[in-house]
Amino acid sequence: MIDGMLPTISTASPALLALSEQHRLYRTMLLMREIHHRAIALQRQGRIGSWLGSEGQEGAIVGSAFALEADDWAFPSYREHALALVRGIPTVRLFHHLYANAADSIIGRNLPPEYSFREVNFVSVSAPVGNQVPQAVGAAMAKQAKGEPGAVITYFGDGTSSEGDIHTGMTVAARRRAPVVFVCQNNGWAISVPTARQTAGEIVRRAPALGLHGVRVDGNDALAVHQVVAEALHRARTGGGPTLVEAMTYRLGAHSTSDDPTKYRPETELEAWRKKDPLPRMADALGLSEAERAAVLADVRKEIERAVEEAEQTPQPEMRTMFDDIYAEQPWHIAAQAREALRAH
């Protein structure tokens, strides 16, 4: 996988995952693709606030998520929705968050889609790009200091890779041999800026300079991503130090629901990458017939429909909740503000 410290393109070793798990991996990828399409429709209809999708990147996200174990922690960026699904979070809870209703784990206090699921070690997504990386390194060092099992994984994009936080985090992690894996999803675009215009060199080649293991993988091959990340996590858990994984993929949709990629991205480039779509590629690898693919699609659409219906029927958070969780013990002035607000309401 790594020749000295030089990065290489990796290919899949399908035997790493049982066939039943490969089928579940494909279903999760398809579920995430359909959640993406439904979320865009809901946002356009004014039923949810915003959405940042992962269309085209499901192979990198789901493939890597399947390599995690129960003791591992995840510090995601804003496209790793499917990682929560792989960790066991039901689809409806993603929609509870998008609707910011009373069943939302954050009670509507964070922008959609910036989830937090403490029970599965899925740390809150935050809007500033890159700050999850030093946080992940700190969590990995804490595990190391306490002798706790497991590793930490964190995600960022090619644009975010130019942030200072990334370099600081990786430098400290390498020096301390922290049990952390950095996954850079290089999707070709930092919103409207192509990768070649925002960095002069190959991202993965920063790894040997910083003292990390480094590997580049075909991010649209879910099984290859799984293999590479599983090896990196094993290395981290067994004291072998951190790894930078650069997953070469492509964002097929817009950066977010406030973006129009037709203004900056050539259609020919998009069409070329559609031919490398990770979903049909995974279905082909499994040898699924058209009827089998259609059956899985119908199944995930039913799941999404039930989730949306439940989320829309769930009430909004009560006003009093905005005064909770500010202090461990509520001081007098917060209590006074709460009484005044609730009386006026």
Per-residue pLDDT reduced to its tens digit, 24-45: 999 999 999 999 999 999 999 9
The answer, yes or no, to whether residue 292 has pLDDT greater than 80, is: yes
Q: Can you give the pLDDT at residue 13?
A: 52
* pLDDT-derived band at 214, boundaries 50, 70, 90: very high
Residue range 222-235, pLDDT digits in tens: 999 999 999 999 99
**151-172 pLDDT per residue, tens:** 999 999 999 999 999 999 999 9
Average pLDDT, the chain: 94
Which domains can be identified in the chain, with CATH numbers? 9-314 (3.40.50.970), 319-345 (no CATH)
Burial 166-176 (b: 16+ CB within 10 A, else e): bbebbebbbeb
Q: Which of the following is catalytic: 175, 197, 264, 274?
A: 264
Task: Output the pLDDT for position 2.
Answer: 35
Q: Has 333 been annotated as catalytic? A: no
83 with 225: CB under 8 angstroms? no
- Is 255 noted as a catalytic residue in this protein? yes
pTM (2 decimals)?
A: 0.94
pLDDT at 190: 94
DSSP reduced 3-state for 250: coil
Active-site option among 81, 213, 216, 251: 251
The angle formed by the CA atoms of residues 48, 304 and 312, to the nearest 5 degrees, is: 40
Q: Is 250 an active-site residue? A: no
pLDDT digits (tens, 9 = 90+) for 335-345: 999 999 998 77
Q: Which of 93, 97, 255, 281 is catalytic?
A: 255
Answer yes or no: is pLDDT of 14 > 90: no
CA dihedral angle for residue 230, residue 11, residue 219, residue 5, rounded to 10 degrees:
70
The two beta strands, 180-186 and 152-157, are parallel
